[in-house]
Structure 1
Amino acid sequence: MMMMAQSLRGLLLASVVGIVSAQQISSSKGLVPATSKNVAPAAAVVPASAATDPFPWETIQLTPSVLSNLTSLNLTDISYFSFDSTSTVRRTVAGQPQCKLLPGDANWPSDTAWSVLNLLTGNALIKTVPLAASCYAGPNYDAAKCAYITANWNIPSLHVNDSSSAMWPIFEGLTCVPPSLRNNATSCTLGGFASYSVKVTNVAQIQLALNFARNLNLRLVVRNTGHDFNDKSIGAGALSLWTHNLKDIKFYSNFVATGYTGPAFKLGAGVETQDVYKAADTNGVTVVGGECHTVGLAGGYSAGGGHSPMAVSWGMGSDQVLALQVVLPSGLFVTVSATSNPELFWALRGGGGSTYGVVTSIIVKAHPKVTITTMTFTFGVGPTLSADTFWLGIRSFFKYFATFADAGSYSYFFIVPGPTGTTFILTPLWANNHTLSQTQALVAPWLAELAALNISVTPVFTEYSSFLAAYDGTFGATEQAGVWNNHAGSRLFPRENFVNGTKLNDTVAGVRYVIDAGGILVGYNIKPAINAGQDNAVNPAWRKTLSLFIVPALWDSQGSLQDAAAASEVLTNDWLAKWRALSPGAGSYMSEGDINEPDFQQSFYGTNYPRLYALKQQLDPHGLFYAPTAVGSEDWYITGQIPYLPTQNGRLCRV
């Protein structure tokens, strides 16, 4: 990137005096097209501070002096890109006060305005073409590309590496999916996809886009990997900030921060879980991260809490964060830590993403390598195992949740109904800092109880010398994406549900009710460690939990949106309602929660919500950042929604 003076070189042909039409800008030579020859990237290289140790691209910023120089050259609509001030006026759409603009509105930015944004960001603007557009008649039709897209539609990387695609497209509205995968798909429209995305490679691009969206009353979304159950990174008519390409990783053998001295990593916002784990193993350490390969560790994972197989040893993903670099809703770029913007430091660690600003990088703790042993097995209802005995075996497992978690283990399991009976799949019980013999001793009493119930199992134990080896050996299969026949909700159950005999029985009955009704349980026995210095916005329910239970609503993928809504209503008002009644005052995991969760403020944020909401109003008074169930989202609604199926393909308006 160029220094500021070089960046401004060639910004204008002679003296540009304004944007005057949809296609041209005005200069002393008359009307001319806005091109890279007369509009150059607007950025300055800001000297790095030793205290922040930014990545090189974090030093490339939009500064007041850059804007001042542009203004002095009489670019009249440079106000589109100005930083926020108290004089900023909220524009409205005729007939729909306080609504965000959509394409076709009278005040929607002209083609030239978008062209200038593109040129000021260094040709980083992408006009959205949905992935499956190649399958439909028109200018984007490409039979070979359509065949590739269709064959790989359920592979996460296909969607993660696209600037706008939805990993769970039900909340986009299913407006452009491969027609061979959905029988009644006859057309391709943008629907809930963003109109434009900025392929972010430096901070200046984020600042320009934020200012443009705020000053022109556009909907804004932030997209990293798109790995969120409720597709928070899409939105009709939106300008999207695509941070997925910020992939830098830097290792510190001895990082010093308030309350911490030790190894750490600085991670760009686009770094995925699988990349962090490889870097950690190379440097002889372990990092707390998610189970799925494509989770953005520095994005929504850390912002939303972040559970992990290693949580039992070192806490939640949010607990690992030592510092962040952030672009605020005002457009300003700041360092956030225990000593710099401490209230925002508290909120960004667990208070949710797409809410307070755009995180460009984080610094997280690293921990020693440890021995990990896993155990897997299955058992199920069949000729020699009745349903009632099967559920006694599940009760036995739940009874040991406290014992196993207190000893430093974590379990990931499924309970799946089927035509021949229900099956339990333990995949795996994961024991941190345990040898094979120690793990066998830990689980021996439970295995003896199963044997006493005549439940036959064949445990497979595997000892690993490092986290990466255990991760690859356990979670090597690629997760699924692109499906639209389900969406999930979750519940955190506290310790008393498993150590109190009456509550244990009620909890087992509550799970059985959902399974007998056709649900599938995705379960975790997890107790995040509570260590010093964990004063952050993580939902307090996580500090008391012994389990996270996830259950999806299910419907036929060839069914209608109304079918999906009906199944979703059952999930919210029947299945999860029973679980909420069994765990009053507990909560749910926001990144794997029900988009229709009643009182989401309490369920996803707990007692932290009032403090988070107050900070949201202070930092983002114009409502630039919005995402479903995010802090402050109750102040907005989306038009044209089907009850219990809130898609993102309507207009975003203030309540």
Structure 2
Amino acid sequence: MKRRDLLKAAVTLPLLPLLMRSGTALAHGAGTLATTVRSRLRPGQPGWPAAVEWEQLKRQVGGRLLKLESPFAPCDAAQPDSACAQVLKQLHNPFAVGDNPALTQTSGWADAWTSQPSAYAVAAEHAADVVAAVNFARKHHLRLVVKGGGHSYQGTSDAPDSLLVWTRHMNQVSLYDAFVPQGCAGHVAPQTAVSVQAGAMWIDAYNAVTTRGGRYVQGGGCTTVGVAGLVQSGGFGSLSKRWGTAASNLLEAEVVTADGRVRIANACTNPELFWGLKGGGGGSLGVVTRLTLRTFELPDSFGGANLTVKADSEAAYRALIAEAVGFYQRALFNPHWGEQMKFYGGDTFEVSMMFQDLTKQQAEQIWAPFLAWVRARKDCRVTKPFQALAAPARHLWDAEFLRKYLSDAIVADDRPDAPRDRFVWAGDREQAGWFIQGYQSAWLPASLLQPERQASLAEALFEAAQHQGVSLHFNKGLAGAPADAIARARDTATHPQVLDAFALAISASGDDPAFPGMPGAKPDLAMARRMAAAVGKTMDALRAVAPDSGSYVSESDYFLRDWQRGFWGSNYPRLAAVKRRYDPDGLFFVHHGVGSEDWSADGFTRLRGG
């Protein structure tokens, strides 16, 4: 299955030559922030730190300063050596990709960006390392980048000529039976929680909380995604329709702000910063070093349901789509169900869903009416029989259990020294290093499920399938979730449309890895542009019935024009105020992040403000 097939529907201004330095001095290590920076420095420019200054930073961080270069440098020789072959092999392993500070989980986006390593990286192990890196970048006016999991589709996990704060080695996970945020004693009841350092992946959290601890934490579906990045972007998992977003379950964060201070942010201390970290986007407000999330009682079971149906004509496909929409509204629009229905060209409909707190038999009974409808028609054929599976909830991320009972569903980290409990879902591995051709998303309001609007939604889905195809991610819309999950999500910076959306529609297309310097990596840009255009036509069909739909910041169009409204809606002015308060000089910059409109596209030249 090729990425260009929708991943099967999953998806500048000139640089000022010199820095304008004012007489206002920065406080040593922290405190007063300058507000007159007009540009950031690149290697070779006047003011770029001298070797002795880099050596001083290296001593400050315990020797953990790395000078980065492309991992494909060994491939330049006429006869690639074993180092080159090893790097190329590891591109298929997202754990190995994440362990290389010079790589990212996405290799680039056509006509947008390509993955290029920073000039230097601080391999942080403690908050003090992050403080040192932030202070150094601020003092020398460097472009600063933060990377944990490295999964950013928008290219925010790296930038050439920058200093990288790499948190991969900060991965400790701690469980609490009665956690109270700092400064909240007497105001907040103790609750079960998990504290996770910024470099941890979700598999680290799930192993500790669920497999070993017997509880649940709302995180992401892909096991190699970084906890910190997902929470800051909002964060959806397969079962968010039950427990809400990851951001809505954040209880406290430790964060290094632009002045080099380590701050605690929660509902009682720095509450506006805390609110901004809950869905305001990673890398814009500070460097998160630790997060504490509430945990929940596990249901009895988790499970999945799969089905593929092909219609024999356009008329039959229209009828199939209409029945699927109505069936979802009647039977699946509730906290039990998450994940996807997919609508492709070739008149194909696919189900890949998950459920919680249902038995296999209950899931089969729920789907029985839809399957009976399909069987009764002579113009629809089941090409992949319906299958429902369920297992005790504690085993959802239990690698040993999955190896024994569902080995085809997972792919282990295949390096010799890899922990046995680390795996990715088989469907996620193909995204390792992928090159994006086009990707767009849109929240679909629950009003489209009303009987009088289902026909227009079904017709829009049919039209969308004629181009690139679309996936409806039901777990990425909170309409139908319990009231408590809705209330928690309302108190976040995530776009308010998520509260009323029954799904996030995603259309995407991608191809094989194409890192700069990688042997044989020559992306077909003409094809990429055609695929991007098809993605655009797909989403145009859906926006015809949901014209004001916003997008999910982590899964969206790189080229989105009105991104402030598209990502955050009415929350953006408040987010901008948090940015001005905690980072008035714009030290933290990411593409289409809060405050990025003040800077050139590469983040090196200030366009306004200051």
TM-score bucket of the superposed structures, by smaller chain: 0.7 to 0.9
Note closer, same or farther for the CA distance 1:153–1:554 as it changes in structure 2 (3 Å cut).
Answer: closer
CA contact (8 A) 1:553 1:567 kept: no
Q: In the comparison of the two structures, how many residue pairs are matched? A: 535
Deviations 1:32-77 (CA, angstroms, capped at 9, x unpaired): xxxxxxxxxxxxxxxxxxxxxxxxxxxxxxxxxxxxxxxxxxxxxx
SS state of the match for residue 235, structure 1?
A: coil
1:156 matched to 2:116? The reply is: no
Looking at structure 1, the residues matched to 576 and 155 of structure 2 have their Cα atoms a distance apart, in angstroms, of 22
Change (3 A) 1:159 1:241: same
Match of residue 296 from structure 1: 226
Q: Does residue 368 of structure 1 match 2:368?
A: no
- Are residues 121 and 172 of structure 1, via their aligned partners in 2, closer, same or farther at CA, if it must alter by over 3 Å? farther
- Checking the alignment, whether the CA contact within 8 Å between 2:302 and 2:390 is kept in structure 1 is yes
2:573 corresponding residue in structure 1:
610
Does residue 169 (structure 1) correspond to residue 107 (structure 2)? The answer is: yes
Contact 1:372 1:470 in 2 (8 A): no
Partner of 1:354: 283
Alignment of 1:311-460 (within 5 A): 311-370=240-299, 371-381=301-311, 385-403=312-330, 404-406=332-334, 408-417=336-345, 421-427=346-352, 429-454=353-378, 455-457=380-382, 458-460=385-387
CA positional deviation for 1:652: 4.6
In the TM superposition, residue 565 of structure 1 has moved relative to its aligned partner by 7.0
Q: 1:175 to 1:310 in 2, by over 3 A?
A: closer
Q: 1:393 is matched by which residue type in structure 2? A: L
Partner amino acid, structure 1, of 2:213: N
Matching of residue 461 in structure 1 with residue 401 in structure 2:
no
| Change beyond 3 A, Cα 1:467–1:521 | farther
Q: Map of 1:157-236 to 2, 5 A cutoff?
A: 157-171=95-109, 192-236=116-160
- Is 1:136 the equivalent of 2:76? yes
Q: Following TM superposition, by how much is the alpha carbon of 1:453 offset from its aligned partner in structure 2, in angstroms?
A: 3.3
**Per the alignment, in what secondary structure is the counterpart of residue 396 of structure 2?**
helix
What is the rounded CA distance, in whole Å, between the counterparts of 2:207 and 2:397 in structure 1? 12
Q: How far is the alpha carbon of 1:485 from its aligned partner?
A: 5.1
Report the counterpart of residue 42 of structure 1 in structure 2. Answer: none
Q: Is the 8 A contact 2:278 2:492 kept in 1?
A: yes
State the shift of 1:375 in Å.
Answer: 1.5
Task: Report how far residue 348 of structure 1 moved.
Answer: 0.7
Once the two structures are superposed, residues 74-113 of structure 1 have per-residue CA deviations (whole angstroms, 9 ceiling, x without a partner) of xxxx979632415x3634xxxxxx2221112112111211
Deviation sequence 1:154-183 (CA, Å, 0-9, x none): 33223211113122222598999xxxxxxx
1:436 touches 1:463 (CA, 8 Å); kept in 2?
A: yes
How far 1:540 sits from its partner (Å)?
Answer: 0.9
Please give the per-residue CA displacement for 1:190-215, whole angstroms capped at 9, x wherever unaligned.
x7431111000011111111111112
Confirm whether residue 522 of structure 1 aligns to residue 452 of structure 2.
no
Matched, 1:147 2:77: no
| Maintained 8 Å contact 2:317/2:462 | no
Specify which of 14, 26, 29 is matched with residue 82 of structure 1.
Answer: 29
- 1:571 shift after superposition: 5.8
Distance 2:201 2:510 in 1: 29
- The structure 2 residue matched to 1:583, chosen from 540, 546, 556, is 546
- For 1:583, what is the secondary structure of its paired residue? coil
Matched residue SS, 1:537? coil
Q: Answer whether contact 2:97 2:105 (CA < 8 A) is retained.
A: yes
Aligned to 2:564: 601
2:558 match: secondary structure = coil
Cα distance in 1 for partners of 2:577, 2:596 equals 13
2:203–2:223 Cα contact (<8 Å) kept: yes
CA–CA distance in structure 2, aligned partners of residues 356 and 220 of structure 1: 12
Q: Structure 2: how far apart are the matches of 1:514 and 1:555? A: 21
Partners of 2:285 and 2:573 in 1: how far apart?
Answer: 15
Shift in Å at residue 402 of structure 1?
Answer: 3.2
Match of 2:607 in 1: 654
Amino acid at match of 1:126: L
Q: Distance in 2 between matches of 1:122 and 1:142?
A: 34
The SS at the match of 2:333 is helix
Letter in 1 for 2:583: D
Change (3 A) 1:357 1:175: closer
CA distance in 2, matches of 1:652, 1:399: 51
Partners of 1:126 and 1:293 lie apart in 2 by 27
How big is each residue's C-alpha offset from its partner over 1:600-630, in whole Å with a ceiling of 9 and x where there is no partner?
1111112101100111112111110111111
Q: Is contact 2:344-2:465 (8 Å) kept?
A: yes
Q: Distance in 1 between matches of 2:197 and 2:524?
A: 37
* Displacement of 1:153: 1.8
Aligned to 2:6: none
The runs of 5 or more residues in structure 2 that have no matched partner are: 1-24, 182-186, 411-424, 515-520
Query: Aligned letter for 1:279?
Result: A
Aligned to 1:548: 504
Query: How has the CA–CA distance of structure 1 residues 488 and 437 changed in structure 2, closer, same or farther, with 3 Å as cutoff?
Result: same
* Aligned partners of 2:326 and 2:449 also within 8 Å: yes
Residue 590 of structure 1, CA deviation: 0.7
Seen in structure 2, the aligned counterparts of structure 1 residues 336 and 607 have a Cα distance that, compared at 3 Å, is same
Displacement after TM superposition at 1:293 (Å) = 1.2
CA offset at residue 405 of structure 1? 2.4
Aligned-residue Cα RMSD (Å) equals: 2.8
Paired letter, 1:634: E
Which residue number corresponds to residue 44 of structure 2? 104
Bigger radius of gyration among the two: 1
- Which secondary structure state, in structure 2, belongs to the residue aligned with residue 605 of structure 1? helix
Structure 1 gap ranges (5+) = 1-77, 92-97, 177-190, 639-647
* CA distance in structure 2 between the partners assigned to 1:303 and 1:533 by the alignment: 15
Equivalent positions of 1:448-527 (< 5 A) are 448-454=372-378, 455-457=380-382, 458-466=385-393, 468-469=395-396, 473=406, 476-477=425-426, 478-479=428-429, 480-484=431-435, 486-502=437-453, 504-517=454-467, 519-526=468-475, 527=477
The 1-side partners of 2:75 and 2:215 are apart by 46
Counterpart residue identity of residue 163, structure 2: L
Counterpart-to-counterpart distance in 1, 2:496 and 2:113:
38
Question: Relative to structure 1, is the Cα distance of residues 396 and 259 closer, same or farther in structure 2, using a 3 angstrom cutoff?
Answer: farther
SS of the equivalent of 1:131 reads: coil
Task: Report the secondary structure of 2:72's partner residue.
Answer: helix
Name the CA shift for 1:581/1:102 in 2 (closer, same or farther; >3 Å). Answer: farther
- Give the equivalent residue in structure 2 for 1:51: none
Q: CA deviation at 1:508?
A: 3.1
Cα distance, 1:483 vs structure 2: 2.0
Q: Is the 8 A contact 1:485 1:564 kept in 2?
A: no
Return the alpha-carbon distance in structure 2 between the equivalents of residues 570 and 306 of structure 1. Answer: 28
Deviation at 1:507, TM superposition (A): 2.9
Partners of 2:95 and 2:111 in 1: how far apart?
Answer: 21
User: Kindly tell me: are residues 581 and 450 of structure 1, through their superposed partners in 2, closer, same or farther at Cα, counting changes over 3 Å?
Assistant: same
* 1:225 maps to amino acid: G
Asked whether 1:539 is paired with 2:495, we answer: yes
Does the CA contact (< 8 Å) of 1:312 and 1:405 recur in 2?
A: no
Distance 1:135 1:499 in 2: 57
Q: TM-score, normalised by structure 2?
A: 0.81
Contact 1:277 1:468 (8 Å CA) reproduced: no
The alpha carbon displacement at 1:224 in A equals: 0.4
